[in-house]
Amino acid sequence: MLAEIITIGDEILIGQIVDTNSAWMAKQLNQIGMKVKQITSVSDDAEHIMEALRLAESRADVILMTGGLGPTKDDITKVTLAKYFHMGFRRDEETLNHVTEIFARVNRPMIELNRKQADVPDGCTVIKNKNGTAPCMWFEERGKIFVSMPGVPFEMMYLMDDEIIPRIKAAFKLPVIYHKTILTSGIGESFLAMEIEAIENSLPESIKLAYLPKLGQVRLRLSTTGAEEAPLKAAVDFYAQQIIARIKTHVVAEEDIALEKAILNFMEERKLTLSTAESCTGGYIAHLITQHPGCSSVYEGGAVTYSYDLKMSLLGVKAETLANYGAVSEETVKEMALGAIKNFKTDYAVAVSGIAGPDGGMPDKPVGTVWIAVAHAKGVVSKVFNFGNKRTQNIERSAAAALSMILNELRQHED
């Protein structure tokens, strides 16, 4: 069974927003054994949507659409779907009541544009969108399923979780897709490939191995598909264990988790605590950590110290250190990390200070210069990096490097 995702909106094609919906939907579909064949982003244009629909219908069994709904989009998706299926419109009473309720709750008058949100192609089943006014529409035509959802991520997410996924599961007998991901750190893609070449060559046709590199990490993903989970899992795990044994020192996690989540798990098992002291990463490391439920058993908190004053008052960095070496220096970043351990009372602390750019570079410290330190009971280590002159990249790469350094220290001081 194949699915396709069509995201509709000029805002995607001019790069005004990043389409995060597709990845989230693809993940949910994959988990229930529905493979996504293609993701297509098209403009708010009826002809273009029609063409994308025709092509998707020719390839897939389920076509999920987001976006192109709402009064000011002229409900282009809805109108186009009606045309695509040669349907008329009906006003859906339940949707009208729901929209009326929402307007009453926020105490706003309803206008005709809002009432029109309750008009739907007459051959569709309406699924209530409890988080918004645009209804979700479900079509079963020519043996295939077409679903139109609003583009607002949290409206789409609730609809997928509560309605669409259960209905798709009920409509098809889906195969099991089994993935096993191994997260590695500190070894390049081609070296990994060389290390596990013999194992890779011994894989049966039915098991695929993929290498997914990302900022100092490589994920190895073994995938297979079949009727029942148990034998698939047994087969994949058999090879996964061989791989893990072969590259043991580089394996960070035996599941598909983020590096910071692997750190949280490692520290939680050992009852260790962590704090952060961030300058150029500006809270990004804290954000990465606190995305994960349950992080509070390890992570106490931290400081974002952009100014000299806060580096001194919150982290105890000495005025002389800042005056003599500057904020972006080994001396400062070490004092930041040690200050975090002391003031925030944690076992480990990570500190980052750098020039994120695009401006602020100096002859001896160009933009992209980043100092990172990790402190713990046995001392403090530090390292300097240069990540170039793109601010966003600098922040992301600094955070990735900081996480790798924490992990290294944790492993070295495991006993």
395 binds a second copy (CB under 8 A): yes
Contact set for a second copy, span 26-85 (CB under 8 A): 26-30, 35-44, 48, 52, 55, 70-73
Characterize 224-246 residue by residue with b for buried, 16 or more Cβ atoms within 10 angstroms of its Cβ, and e for exposed.
bbbeeeeebbebbeebbeebbee
Angle among Cα 176, 164, 67 to the nearest 5 degrees reads 120
The one among 125, 202, 241, 307 contacting a second copy by CB under 8 A: 307
The residue type found at 34 is M
Q: State which residue, 87 or 179, has the beta carbon closest to a second copy.
A: 179
Q: State which residue, 258 or 381, has the beta carbon closest to a second copy.
A: 258
Nearest-angstrom CA–CA distance, 305 and 333? 11
Is residue 350 within 8 Å of residue 327, measured between CB atoms? Answer: no
Could you count the other beta carbons within 10 Å of the beta carbon of residue 166? 12
Nearest-angstrom CA–CA distance, 136 and 117? 11
Contact set for a second copy, span 2-21 (CB under 8 A): 10-20
167 binds a second copy (CB under 8 A): no
Q: State which residue, 113 or 227, has the beta carbon closest to a second copy.
A: 113
Element (H, E) at 205: none
186 binds a second copy (CB under 8 A): no
The one among 125, 241, 324, 392 contacting a second copy by CB under 8 A: 392
CA–chain centroid gap for 203, Å, is 29
Piece in contact with a second copy (CB under 8 A), picked from 86-94, 149-157, 235-243, 375-383: 149-157
SS3 145: strand
Minimum distance from residue 11 beta carbon to a second copy (Å): 5
SS3 153: helix
Piece in contact with a second copy (CB under 8 A), picked from 163-171, 183-191, 264-272, 370-378: 183-191
The one among 83, 144, 169, 214 contacting a second copy by CB under 8 A: 214
The one among 128, 233, 287, 318 contacting a second copy by CB under 8 A: 287
Piece in contact with a second copy (CB under 8 A), picked from 86-94, 148-156, 231-239, 403-411: 148-156
The residue type found at 185 is S
Minimum distance from residue 379 beta carbon to a second copy (Å): 24
Minimum distance from residue 73 beta carbon to a second copy (Å): 7
CB neighbours of 192 closer than 8 A, spacing ≥ 6? 184, 211, 218, 220, 247, 250
# of chain residues touching a second copy (CB under 8 A): 108
The one among 318, 393, 408, 413 contacting a second copy by CB under 8 A: 393
Radius of gyration of the chain (CA): 26
The one among 63, 147, 160, 289 contacting a second copy by CB under 8 A: 289
Is residue 28 within 8 Å of residue 165, measured between CB atoms? Answer: yes
Q: State which residue, 249 or 414, has the beta carbon closest to a second copy.
A: 249
CB neighbours of 52 closer than 8 A, spacing ≥ 6? 6, 40, 42
